């Protein structure tokens, strides 16, 4: 294994563990006596520290060590979990995240502010410890109280783990250092004694100075589990021989060890020296070995003689192995997101290429070719679907981030708010997940700030003093729906209407439904907060949220009931890579309109064509429909067609018409982003390649609709 790769693994794992710590910390406040959670927390910190030790990330080790020590006291019941401790640990967890981040970006040192923060955290953490605990490999202290356990007949009389390590020859070449394993092992417990073995080293002439010939016999006093101790050697397990005997192992186990490892008789002496066996135990064991017939392996005979205990041990071992197996079965493969994107791109190309092939096949007479291409098309569709599925991730991790947000914000606002999460397992495209975080955060903060009332106000209304914020996700006909709902007071329609009239968004005498009033909050610059708080009311309003969601080709709507609460419903496409499109033609150019925005299409009658020469609207069944001629918009100078069609599109509450020459029908559209050069182009959302190899531009409908609205106001205002 290359070190770089190992480091990458470490970074990913450390990141996951840090997230896990945060998640546990957030849940632990409500269940301070959850032993499992506390243990899991300790383990997470411990594992981060341990792996960091292997890579000599000293800053991370030193800091995590203190965190771990505090958690150790919590685990032992010496410290009680309370809000302050959780807050401190959360901050510490953040700091660990930061340190891991530094490793990721290969930043050597912390900034001055970070260091200051670390010192602050360390001071607070040490406050919980009573005294700073230096990190060191301790030698057995004189006069240390020896723990004497009742020893049964054939158990060796010692309380220490015994580790026999024979490192692989390539260990050093692979950039590992045995010393770092031992230093790390020292953090798991106390290294009582350690004896190096160099008997594998050949005579000087044959010795390769870059090979590792080292072995170690170690007596370790530790409360850690066998798994944890084994974990120290995870990175070298494959190439090295590692034997770990738990405390009070049977004499026979030690003898088996002597037999297994090549150092033969000397190892027996070493086991005595290290305190694993007494001289008497060794002699008795060895004499038993001599008495037994020579053609039967020692281990078997001894096991026979102690058959009472063996099944117990075996059962335990089997269980352990079984646990490890199942763990490996469910293990997912980590794939670089870039590789996945590359695959999706290729699949996109494949979709285009196969469309081209079937187009050709259709032009050619020959039913066999038709058949072949139709099979290919079907397979390509399946490949496309499963490739897109690969990029699907559960929304749960995004939701869980809000545990932290809700906790922090409710403290800040001194409101008591619970977060309830439903549908965390709902999947959606990773790129969508990444982009939905910010708008969701805004919705959540908004709900907490404006939606949920203060405890006294709630009690006055007969509601429970604790507010509830719900995050819910589910699939609904090809899109994912994410709901953010609160059980607050609902929107204040009178206030919204008043404000809307003030700003001229609604005419004074205009009749408007309650739901329409609610949706006014998505208008730019609209904020009803009478009180500017730290959180909202900074001019970033719902319109920003709406724009962000529209940019993802999603929609947002809301449902509000006075005194009961408000629900925001965000609807997003499952993927951003491939959509159903509606292909149209203007002159010789093809355009694609996202199909879910198309309402209908009608032919522009001769009469309308004449009339609409001057103005840009038509009468659609008694309704005024503003439109845009794509020919004019994109300055296409081909000869106009005989006829024109209007495609009626909708985005949110607004409708508009797009005038085109010809309607070509539906098609699977692989969205290709346009280069940066075209970023300023309004009205174009991307491009796609048609089966014929031609490029078609994908229209950005929301932007076009806005343009028609602006054009309409411009034309009507002078009159």
Residues lying near other proteins in the complex (CB under 8 A) are found at 137, 171-173, 177-179, 182-183, 191, 193-198, 201, 203-204, 207, 209-210, 212-214, 216
Contacts of 203 (CB under 8 A, 6+ apart): none
CA separation for the pair 24, 16 (Å, rounded): 12
CA separation for the pair 385, 339 (Å, rounded): 17
Q: How far is the CB of 210 from other proteins (least distance, A)?
A: 6
CA separation for the pair 136, 186 (Å, rounded): 7
Q: How far is the CB of 186 from other proteins (least distance, A)?
A: 8
Which is nearer to other proteins, 200 or 383 (by Cβ)? Answer: 200
Which is nearer to other proteins, 127 or 196 (by Cβ)? Answer: 196
Q: How far is the CB of 204 from other proteins (least distance, A)?
A: 5
Specify the residue for token string 């309109």: 593
Which is nearer to other proteins, 191 or 647 (by Cβ)? Answer: 191
Which is nearer to other proteins, 282 or 471 (by Cβ)? Answer: 282
H/E run at residue 498: helix 493-502
Specify the residue for token string 């150019």: 589
Specify the residue for token string 């679907």: 385
Q: Do strands 479-486 and 555-561 pair parallel, antiparallel, or not at all (unpaired)?
A: unpaired
Which is nearer to other proteins, 190 or 441 (by Cβ)? Answer: 190
- The residue length of the chain stands at 719
Q: How far is the CB of 193 from other proteins (least distance, A)?
A: 6
Q: How far is the CB of 178 from other proteins (least distance, A)?
A: 5
Contacts of 660 (CB under 8 A, 6+ apart): 584, 585, 586, 591, 630, 644, 645, 646, 647
Contacts of 334 (CB under 8 A, 6+ apart): 12
Q: Are the beta carbons of 439 and 570 closer than 8 angstroms?
A: yes
The structure tokens listed for 581 are 């499109």
Q: How far is the CB of 179 from other proteins (least distance, A)?
A: 5
Which is nearer to other proteins, 55 or 634 (by Cβ)? Answer: 55
- 592 by Cβ neighbours in 10 Å (0-12 / 13-18 / 19+) ranks as buried
Which is nearer to other proteins, 193 or 672 (by Cβ)? Answer: 193
- 94 by Cβ neighbours in 10 Å (0-12 / 13-18 / 19+) ranks as middle
Rounded to the nearest 5°, which phi and psi values hold at 126?
-65, -30
Which is nearer to other proteins, 273 or 707 (by Cβ)? Answer: 273
Q: How far is the CB of 207 from other proteins (least distance, A)?
A: 6
Helix (H, G, I), strand (E, B) or coil at 141: coil
Which is nearer to other proteins, 70 or 219 (by Cβ)? Answer: 219
Which is nearer to other proteins, 175 or 514 (by Cβ)? Answer: 175
Longest Cα–Cα distance of the chain, Å, equals 117
Q: Are the beta carbons of 388 and 344 closer than 8 angstroms?
A: yes
Which is nearer to other proteins, 52 or 194 (by Cβ)? Answer: 194
CA separation for the pair 522, 544 (Å, rounded): 8
Among 252, 233, 226, which Cα is nearest to 319's? 226
Q: How far is the CB of 191 from other proteins (least distance, A)?
A: 8
Among 27, 16, 17, which Cα is nearest to 406's? 27
Q: How far is the CB of 235 from other proteins (least distance, A)?
A: 15
Which is nearer to other proteins, 275 or 640 (by Cβ)? Answer: 275
Specify the residue for token string 């869980």: 400
Q: How far, in Å, are 218, 327, 522 from residue 157 at the CA level?
A: 16, 34, 75
């Amino acid at each position: 294994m290359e070190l770089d790769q190992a480091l990458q693994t470490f970074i990913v794992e450390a990141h996951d563990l840090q997230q896990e710590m945060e998640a546990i910390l957030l849940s632990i406040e409500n269940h301070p006596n959850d032993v499992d959670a506390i243990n899991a927390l300790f383990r997470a910190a411990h594992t981060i520290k341990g792996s960091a030790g292997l890579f000599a990330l000293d800053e991370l080790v030193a800091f995590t060590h203190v965190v771990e020590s505090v958690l150790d006291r919590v685990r032992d019941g010496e410290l009680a979990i309370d809000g302050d401790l959780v807050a401190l640990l959360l901050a510490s967890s953040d700091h660990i995240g930061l340190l891991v981040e530094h490793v990721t970006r290969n930043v050597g040192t912390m900034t001055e502010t970070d260091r200051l923060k670390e010192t602050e955290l360390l001071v607070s953490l040490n406050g919980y410890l009573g005294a700073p605990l230096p990190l060191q490999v301790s030698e057995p202290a004189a006069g240390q109280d020896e723990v004497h356990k009742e020893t049964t007949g054939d158990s060796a009389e010692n309380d220490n783990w015994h580790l026999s390590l024979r490192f692989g020859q390539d260990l050093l070449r692979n950039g590992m250092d045995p010393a770092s394993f031992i230093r790390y092992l020292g953090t798991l417990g106390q290294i009582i004694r350690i004896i190096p073995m160099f008997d594998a080293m050949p005579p000087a002439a044959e010795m390769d100075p870059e090979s590792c010939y080292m072995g170690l016999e170690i007596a370790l006093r530790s409360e850690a589990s066998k798994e944890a101790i084994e974990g120290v050697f995870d990175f070298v397990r494959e190439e090295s021989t590692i034997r770990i005997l738990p405390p009070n192992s049977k004499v026979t186990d030690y003898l088996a060890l002597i037999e297994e490892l090549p150092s033969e008789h000397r190892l027996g002496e070493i086991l005595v020296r290290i305190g694993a066996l007494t001289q008497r135990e060794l002699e008795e064991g060895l004499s038993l070995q001599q008495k037994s017939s020579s053609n039967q392996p020692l281990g078997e005979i001894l096991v026979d003689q102690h058959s009472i205990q063996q099944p117990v041990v075996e059962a335990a071992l089997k269980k352990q192995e079984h646990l490890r197996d199942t763990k490996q079965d469910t293990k997912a493969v980590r794939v670089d997101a870039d590789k996945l994107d590359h695959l999706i791109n290729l699949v996109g190309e494949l979709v285009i290429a196969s469309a081209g092939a079937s187009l050709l096949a259709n032009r050619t007479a020959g039913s066999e070719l038709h058949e072949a291409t139709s099979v290919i098309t079907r397979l390509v569709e399946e490949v496309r679907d499963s490739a897109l599925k690969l990029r699907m991730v559960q929304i749960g991790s995004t939701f869980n981030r809000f545990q932290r947000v809700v906790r922090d914000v409710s403290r800040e606002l001194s409101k008591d708010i619970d977060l309830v999460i439903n549908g965390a397992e709902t999947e959606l495209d990773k790129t969508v997940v990444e982009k939905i975080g910010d708008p969701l955060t805004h919705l959540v903060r908004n709900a907490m700030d404006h939606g949920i009332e203060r405890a006294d106000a709630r009690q006055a209304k007969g509601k429970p003093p604790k507010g509830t914020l719900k995050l819910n996700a589910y699939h609904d006909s090809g899109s994912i729906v994410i709901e953010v709902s609160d059980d607050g007071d609902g929107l204040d329609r009178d206030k919204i209407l008043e404000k809307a009239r003030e700003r001229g968004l609604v005419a004074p005498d205009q009749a408007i439904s309650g739901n329409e009033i609610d949706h006014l909050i998505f208008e730019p610059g609209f904020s009803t907060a009478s009180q500017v708080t730290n959180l909202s009311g900074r001019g970033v309003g719902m319109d920003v949220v709406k724009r962000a969601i529209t940019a993802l080709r999603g929609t947002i709507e809301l449902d509000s009931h006075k005194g009961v609460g408000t629900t925001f419903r965000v609807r997003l496409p499952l993927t951003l890579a491939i959509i159903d499109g509606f292909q149209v033609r203007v002159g010789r150019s093809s355009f694609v309109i996202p199909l879910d925005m198309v309402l209908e299409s009608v032919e522009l009658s001769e009469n309308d064509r004449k009339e609409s020469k001057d103005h840009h609207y038509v009468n659609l069944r008694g309704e005024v429909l503003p439109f845009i001629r794509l020919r004019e918009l994109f300055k296409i100078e081909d000869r106009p067609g005989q006829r024109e069609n209007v495609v009626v599109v909708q985005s949110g509450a607004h409708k508009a018409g797009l005038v085109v020459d010809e309607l070509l029908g539906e098609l699977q559209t692989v969205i290709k982003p346009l280069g940066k050069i075209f970023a300023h182009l309004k009205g174009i959302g991307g491009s796609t390649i048609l089966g014929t190899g031609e490029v078609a531009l994908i229209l950005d409908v929301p932007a076009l609709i806005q343009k028609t609205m602006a054009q309409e106001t411009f034309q009507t205002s002078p009159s």
